[in-house]
Amino acid sequence: MIGVLGAGAWGTALAQVAAADGREVRLWARELEVVASINEAHENHLFLPGVPLAPSIRASDDLAWVAEADPLLVVTPSQHMRSVLSGLDARQRQLILCCKGIEAGTMQLMHEVAHETCPSATIAVLSGPTFAHEVAKGLPTAITLACADAGIGRKLAALIARPAFRPYLATDVVGAEIGGAVKNVLAIACGVVEGRGLGQNARASMISRGFAEMTRFGLARGAHAETLAGLSGLGDLVLTCSSTSSRNFSLGVGLGQGRAAADLLADRRTVAEGAFTAPVLRAAAAAAGVDMPIAQAVCALLEGEATAEQMIDALLARPLRAEW
Ligand SMILES: NC(=O)c1ccc[n+]([C@@H]2O[C@H](COP(=O)([O-])OP(=O)(O)OC[C@H]3O[C@@H](n4cnc5c(N)ncnc54)[C@H](O)[C@@H]3O)[C@@H](O)[C@H]2O)c1
Ligand SMILES: O=P(O)(O)OC[C@H](O)CO
């Protein structure tokens, strides 16, 4: 039996993947309306409308009941993962972390937060170019499954692999997490390019120079270059920087059109992780002595320290330098 903690779009899509072979899946939802919607209508009206869900997915707001399952896919927003995992009992279990971010305050990656809250758990990370609505419809998707213990990684990959859902193995947990967290911030920058109508050349440049930043930061934190160039890094960067299906890219489009971050973020029920990661990333990059001008510029824009026009002008005015 597989458990899923978090019934947003991605948790629901992953529950659907896990249930594709008729397996029982327990899904923890925070909202009672989501529990009712999934159990009664076999649909998540709030976070993944229009996708019929397998009847073997059963939802509950009872964390302990869902946590009887093993492994547990952890699919909360990054900033709430600690509080949700803190509610688990101390038994030994396998956690597959699926959220993409860095914790504010501690500057910890998700596996570091999970190690603190669930010291006896085995930890893996699942991350890659995966829009939830496509995965839920069964469209072909490849993803990185990273686990420091390659043997456990292989077993988990076999458990969640489906004909159209293909995990690739890695042991570099840090690299898989940094790719997923940093790409969200860079997607906001690409959205700004779109929102200001700056063209495809500018967007491709933003992706390439953003990837250089992701690589510099990742290497400084111990990630492997190959992981950053893989599905969870470059792959997800390209996806998220190219489509209004991305919440982060769409947030950037709004910012590029001159709207204020506070207005764009107010009252939204879905999560644009890049808005929370940007300030932590700026601080973490400074602490690691890594130059991340695009991430810094996104942060300045979100915090109202610069307009979108000033952000782009400042990036274009940087001194000429070697590409690598
Ligand atoms: N949506 C995608 O396509 C996708 C794909 C891959 C990874 N992710 C990642 O998955 C994670 C979850 O995103 P999502 O898209 O499933 O969510 P979502 O935006 O669809 O829904 C928001 C989620 O946040 C939860 N939430 C709100 N306040 C909370 C709190 N105080 N404590 C715990 N949970 C709270 C809600 O219950 C809901 O599950 C994020 O880190 C995201 O980056 C999303
Ligand atoms: O909608 P976004 O920007 O959170 O992106 C969703 C996924 O992370 C894409 O892989």
**What mean pLDDT do residues 161-182 have?**
98
CA of 246 to the centre of ligand 2 (A): 5
**Ligand 2 pocket check: which of 165, 188, 246, 250 to mutate, most ligand atoms within 8 Å of Cβ?**
246
Give the pLDDT of residue 324: 86
- pLDDT band, very low/low/confident/very high, at 232 (cuts 50, 70, 90): very high
* Mean pLDDT of the residues in the chain: 97
**Average pLDDT in the 180-202 region?**
98
The number of the ligand 1 atom at minimal distance from the alpha carbon of 34 is 37
Q: Side chain identity at 117, as an amino acid letter?
A: T
SS3 21: helix
What tens digit of pLDDT does each residue of 120-149 get? 999 999 999 999 999 999 999 999 999 999
Q: What are phi and psi of 96, to 5 degrees?
A: -110, 110
Tell me, what's the pLDDT at 21? 85
Residue list, ligand 2 pocket, CB within 6 Å: 100, 129-131, 184, 187, 236, 239-240, 246-248, 273
- Is residue 203 very low, low, confident or very high in pLDDT (cuts 50, 70, 90)? very high
- Residues annotated in the binding site for NADPH, as ranges? 10, 30, 100, 132, 247, 271, 273
Q: Please name each of the domains of the chain with its CATH number.
A: 2-171 (3.40.50.720), 179-316 (1.10.1040.10)
The catalytic residues are 183
Q: What is the pLDDT of residue 2?
A: 97
- Please report the pLDDT score of residue 81 as a whole number: 98
Mean pLDDT, residues 41-48: 98
Q: Which two structure tokens, joined as six digits, stand for 301?
A: 């824009």
The answer to whether residue 316 scores a pLDDT higher than 80 is yes
Residue 268 pLDDT class (50, 70, 90 cuts): confident
d(CA 152, CA 135): 24
Note the pLDDT tens digit of each residue in 89-123.
Answer: 999 999 999 999 999 999 999 999 999 999 999 99
Which of 81, 20, 69, 315 has the alpha carbon at shortest distance from 192? Answer: 315
End-to-end CA distance of the chain: 47
Q: How many CB atoms lie within 10 A of CB 87?
A: 12
CA of 75 to the centre of ligand 2 (A): 12
ipTM of the complex: 0.99
If you measure from the C-alpha of residue 9 to the centroid of ligand 1, how many angstroms do you get, rounded to a whole number? Answer: 7
Dihedral-angle region of residue 292 (phi above 0 means left; psi in -120 to 50 means alpha; beta otherwise): beta
Token pair for 201: 């050349």
Digit-coded pLDDT (tens) for 49-92 = 999 999 999 999 999 999 999 999 999 999 999 999 999 999 99
> How many angstroms does the Cα of residue 273 sit away from the middle of ligand 2?
8
Nearest ligand (C-alpha, residue 243): 2
Atom nearest to 129 CA in ligand 2:
10
- Ligand 1 binding pocket mutation candidate from 4, 10, 46 (most atoms within 8 A of CB): 10
Ligand nearest to the CA of 63: 1
Q: What is the pLDDT of residue 125?
A: 99
> Among the residues of the chain, which ranges form H helices?
9-18, 32-41, 63-66, 78-85, 110-117, 132-136, 150-160, 173-195, 200-220, 225-228, 236-240, 247-256, 261-265, 273-288, 293-302, 308-316
Residue percentage of the chain with pLDDT more than 70: 100
Q: Between β-strands 72-74 and 2-5, what pairing exists: parallel, antiparallel or unpaired?
A: parallel
Whether residue 267 has pLDDT greater than 90: no
- The conformation of residue 231, written as its DSSP 8-state character, comes to I
Looking at the chain, the whole-number percentage of residues with pLDDT higher than 90 is 98
pLDDT at 270 (0 to 100): 95
